[in-house]
């Protein structure tokens, strides 16, 4: 299970890097006589840095125990569902979600007790 905001975050990171490149290129080739030359270049380089760092960071930081991470993502989703059912006063779904949360905790404990090798780079 993955977070629903991950594709949006990837898109934002790419846009940040490309916007930084566009600002730097625009400043160097078109706005040579701009009074804010240094500020615009610094801002463009900052955008490139932030966007690239976030994109590359995902490649460098790999999960050690993928099964555990998936179980924790499932647990978080179930906790959100529990809150939703609690506020909607849906007792049948509330009890089934509680049972699913208990099962998820058991799977988390089992996954945490197993060592999983880091994938080859």
Is 75 found in the same domain as 55? no
Contact between 61 and 26 under an 8 Å Cβ cutoff? The reply is no
Is 37 found in the same domain as 72? no
Q: What is the pLDDT of residues 10-30, one digit of tens each?
A: 777 778 778 888 888 877 777
Q: Provide the residue range defining the domain that includes 106.
A: 66-113
pLDDT > 80? residue 51: no
Is 90 found in the same domain as 109? yes
Q: Mean pLDDT, to the nearest integer, of 93-108?
A: 91
Q: Mean pLDDT, to the nearest integer, of 95-111?
A: 91
Q: Please report the DSSP string for 62-95 in residue order.
A: --S-HHHHHHHHHHHHHHHHHHHHHHTT-HHHHH
Cα dihedral 13→14→20→22 (10° resolution): -160
Indicate the number of domains in the chain: 2
Residue 1 inside a domain? The answer is no
Residue 118 inside a domain? The answer is no
- % of the chain at pLDDT higher than 70: 78
Residue 120 inside a domain? The answer is no
Neighbours of 27 (CB within 10 A): 20
Residue 23 inside a domain? The answer is yes
């Amino acid at each position: 299970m993955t977070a629903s905001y991950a594709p949006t975050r990837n898109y934002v990171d790419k846009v940040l890097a490309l916007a930084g490149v566009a600002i730097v290129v625009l400043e160097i080739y078109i706005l040579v006589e701009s009074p804010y030359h240094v500020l615009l270049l610094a801002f463009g380089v900052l955008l490139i840095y932030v966007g690239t760092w976030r994109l590359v960071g995902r490649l460098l930081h790999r999960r050690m125990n993928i099964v555990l991470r998936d179980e924790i993502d499932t647990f978080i989703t179930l906790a959100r569902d529990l809150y939703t059912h609690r506020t909607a006063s849906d007792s049948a779904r509330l009890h089934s979600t509680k049972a699913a949360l208990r099962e998820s905790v058991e799977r988390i404990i089992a996954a945490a007790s197993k060592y999983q090798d880091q994938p080859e780079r």
